[in-house]
Amino acid sequence: MSFSVDTRISDLDAMEAEGVDLLVVGGGITGAGIARDAAMRGLSVGLVERGDFASGTSSRSSKLIHGGLRYLEQGEINLVLEANRERKCLTEIAPHLAMHARLAFPVHGRTSAGLMKLRAGLWAFEKMAKIPAEELHEVWDRDESVARIPGLLKDRLQGSAVYTEYITDDARLTLETLKSAKRYGARVVNRAPATALREQESALTVSGDGQSRRAGLVVGLRDDLSGRSLDVNAAVVVNAAGPWVDSVRRLGGAANDRMQLTKGIHLVVERERLPVDDIVVMRAQDKRILFVVPFEDICWIGTTDTFYPEAVERPEITREDVDYLLEATNRNWPDQPIDPSEVRGAWAGV
């Protein structure tokens, strides 16, 4: 089934005329995944997005598909297993959107205890997640770490644990998921913000596919391309609006916000300034984990994690954000510090 400006109009018309079982508000990766899953299960599904698909958080990530290792230390065993299971699924159904990459985690310290602890965690993760033999971790000693990660801080370097991660194009992953949802029959529309949410006052039967069902909610929409307003009847509405979740909740009369927003930024530098072949983990001064991710002729560095007061399209990148990432980078690669003037680009998401 095609996915174009023409189907956008017909999808709006169909949702208005027929209603849906499930209406998803939000066209990021979460909303796209929900719409695809529901459509594959035979529900009539609509998805609306206020701007462009993946225009918010879903195009401003670190672009890594984690297997859940980070949650092991917190004891979130089920989350570890779920994350790895979903990653494995993605690598099978869309290998072009899950590119194999090697991640090196250098460990500095007075003794090798930190490296041994990391190895134990990786061993437990691999056993639980049933990682295939070709993706089991390895360990580089100090000399090999220095040789394979040019310019890395040598002081108290014990070695590096090296394991498999995956890189994705986050925006393309979202779009491909939406296209798949469309192929399974979902109605998918961008530039159509929700403007109202109310309970259905009278009993309405939705029968767009010949199956009778009760519609319990009405969602008001505005087509920003034509200026047209319309109502869509839905049995269930899923709020997948990301940082704008509370804005959608307020349409239905919610008085209190539930979201505590944070901002994450990434910086882009020329790869010759950080000539690494693998993703490299480093720690900031406050012990937070950061990544250096090489891709073609650039590297991106991220991410920050700071409280942000509101959901906006283009969150501000402050000098403090830039200094935070460059301080960590220059402390871990001390020989040729990167100056803020060498930053070639940046992105920020909430």
Written as six digits, the tokens of 262 are 């944070």
Q: Does one domain contain both 17 and 42?
A: yes
Same domain, 157 and 30: no
DSSP code per residue over 139-168: EEEHHHHHHHSTT---TTEEEEEEEEEEE-
Other Cβ atoms less than 10 A from the Cβ of 286: the count is 8
74 within a domain of the structure (yes/no): no
Same domain, yes or no: 131 and 26: no
Looking at the domain assignment, is residue 240 inside a domain?
Answer: yes
Alpha helices (runs of H) in the chain, residue ranges in sequence order: 5-18, 29-40, 77-93, 113-129, 142-148, 170-183, 245-251, 319-332
Q: Is residue 237 part of a domain?
A: yes
Q: In which band, very low, low, confident or very high, does the pLDDT at 343 lie, cut at 50, 70 and 90? A: very high
Same domain, 161 and 177: no
Same domain, 181 and 46: yes
Q: Is 152 found in the same domain as 191?
A: no
Domain total in the chain: 2
Residue 115, in any domain of the structure: yes
pLDDT digits (tens, 9 = 90+) for 201-232: 654 455 455 555 556 899 999 999 999 999 99
Question: Domain range for residue 210?
Answer: 5-59+171-251
Structure-block tokens of residue 66: 């984690």
* Domain termination residue (choose one: 194, 225, 251): 251
130 and 13 in a common domain: no
91, 97, 129 from 100: Cα distances, Å: 9, 10, 17
Mean pLDDT of the chain: 93
| C-beta of residue 131 within 8 angstroms of C-beta of residue 72 | no
Tens of pLDDT, residues 34-69: 999 999 999 999 999 999 999 999 999 999 998 877
- How buried is 143 (Cβ within 10 angstroms: 0-12 exposed, 13-18 middle, 19+ buried)? exposed
pLDDT, tens digit (0-9, with 9 covering 90-100), for 279-320: 999 999 999 999 999 999 999 999 999 999 988 889 999 999
Q: Say yes or no: 175 and 157 in one domain.
A: no
Which position has the token pair 């220095």? 146
Overall residue count recorded for the chain in this entry: 350
What is the domain-level CATH number for residue 237?
Answer: 3.50.50.60
178 with 132, same domain: the answer is no
